[in-house]
Amino acid sequence: MAFKINPQKTFNLSPPSLLAIGFLSFIIIGTILLKLPFANKGNVSWMDALFTATSAVTITGLSVVSLNDSFNHFGQFIILLLIQSGGLGFMTFAILAALSLAPKLGLKQQMMAQDSLGQTSLSKVTFVAKGVVLYTLFFELIGVIILTASFAPIYGFARGLYYAVFYSVSAFNNAGFSLFENSLISFQSHYLICLTISILYTLGGIGFLVLIDVKQNKRWSKLTPNSKLILSTIAILNLVAFVLIWLLESNNPLTLGSMSLGEQAMNAWFQATVPRSSGFNTIDTGSMEHSTALLTMLLMFIGGGSLSTAGGIKVGTFVILLLCVISFLRRNEEIRIFNHSVSQETTYKALAVAAITGMLVFVGCFILFLLEPKLDVLDLMFEVVSAACTVGLSRGATGQLHDGSLFVLSVLMFTGRLGPLTLAYLIATPKKSRLKHANANIQIG
């Protein structure tokens, strides 16, 4: 996309570059606003403001300060706007702005939107962009109504409505920011609040393309292979994680051990679905068994659906990698899913996303191990995976980190939200060559 500064100078920005600049602009503006004296209560440093703004724009949810103790209502409102802008995505705003100025997008603008929204058809770009906004506002409104009915009897209507708006937006956008010191632990026995918030972040993490497909076709047989893959995989992952977490934590008195059977089921389900990318918790994450923490890190790494508010490598990527391995072991010539073939390009993309995300996690862990030698290794690994996959769950180590470590996590959140594949395009622009080389016999395994 070309931006003319003057007749002599023209700057050409690729879609990944524009996306990166857009998110970075939101972070810088958010940092400045949160540092204003009328946005905080005087105990927020520049690093605190930068980390909070980055976490909000990247819809991660990690925080080094208490939102309620450090920011007033104006500051909390700024955080909410950053969450919403990060959730809807800078590119969606850019598309809608262009739509308001012109009846149709130009070819370059359509290509930019197609790149950011993951669409293969240019004609669907504007339709999807509108759908993203409408679905977001619709589900958030439903969440506000239900949560207001839940919070109002406890805090009064005005305060209950305020909490309902904040948590509905934070939940659907998979941000996980909480106005309570202990996230949602105080509501671990409040079934309606827990269930509503879990439904909101699950819907947000499924992906807008899938939601649109379900609304249009309504029957499983008519859904696209992508929608079937996302829905079935998330259902299986949630069910398996639910059973495992319940079994692993049922005898832990610091988590599920002291609860009734119904409360155990509700909170096990909540903690099983949260790693899709939300950062809420109804039990003390730092008190979970090491096995549960490791399982949670795997679930965070996988994440949710593409074109969603979730993070991670995405469930589609995870399934393609599994199918790739299975096809190789079975000596199949192609990878098939729901009677459809998966292209080689899609397989390469899946491998690239997983590899780059894995490298980001490794580098993040390596640096934090050097900077924070006194902190527990598992806790540091958990924070790094949570940041790189924009989840926001924490075992309590984030608040103990030095500014250098917080900056590392901020970079991980930014690159995680930007997308590993987009980051790869930024670093190395694809080049086509007519020169063909002889095959090399490289030994594998």
**SS3 of 30-60:** HHHHHHCCCCECCCCCHHHHHHHHHHHHCCC
Taking the CB of residue 69, how many other CB atoms lie within 10 A of it? Answer: 11
User: pLDDT by residue (tens digit) across 161-206?
Assistant: 999 999 999 999 999 999 998 899 999 999 999 999 999 999 999 9
pLDDT at 309: 86
Better-scored residue on pLDDT, 99 or 76: 76
Cα-Cα-Cα-Cα dihedral of 396, 401, 406, 408, to 10°? -100
Distance CA(293)–CA(190), nearest Å, equals 24
Residue 122: is its pLDDT beyond 60? no
Query: What pLDDT shows up at residue 389?
Result: 94
**Residue environment code for 268-288, b if the CB has 16+ CB neighbours within 10 A, otherwise e:** bbbbbbbbbbbbbbbbebbeb
Residue 119 has, within 13 A of its CA and on its CB side, a CA count of 20
In this prediction, residue 115 carries a pLDDT of 57
Structure tokens at 225: 């292979």
Per residue in 345-396, pLDDT (tens digit) is 888 888 988 999 999 999 999 999 999 999 999 999 999 999 999 999 999 9
Average of per-residue pLDDT across 75-82: 96
Mean predicted confidence (pLDDT) in 196-224: 90
Spans of all domains in the chain: 15-423
Structure tokens at 144: 């506000």
Q: Which two tokens stand for residue 177?
A: 């920011």
In this predicted structure, the answer to whether residue 117 has a pLDDT above a threshold of 90 is: no
Which pLDDT tens digit goes with each residue over 390-432? 999 999 999 899 999 999 999 999 999 887 656 656 555 555 6
pLDDT digits (tens, 9 = 90+) for 283-325: 999 999 999 999 999 999 999 988 788 889 999 999 999 999 9
Give which of 229, 320, 319, 244 is closest to 275, Cα–Cα: 244
Confidence of residue 133 (pLDDT cuts 50, 70, 90): confident
Residues 301, 275: contact at Cβ < 8 Å? no
CA distances from 339 to 80, 342, 378 (A): 43, 10, 41
**To the nearest whole number, what is the mean pLDDT of the chain?**
87
| Lowest mean pLDDT segment, chosen from 66-70, 92-96, 254-258, 377-381 | 92-96
Report DSSP state, residue 223. Answer: S
Q: What is the pLDDT confidence band of residue 4, given thresholds at 50, 70 and 90?
A: very low
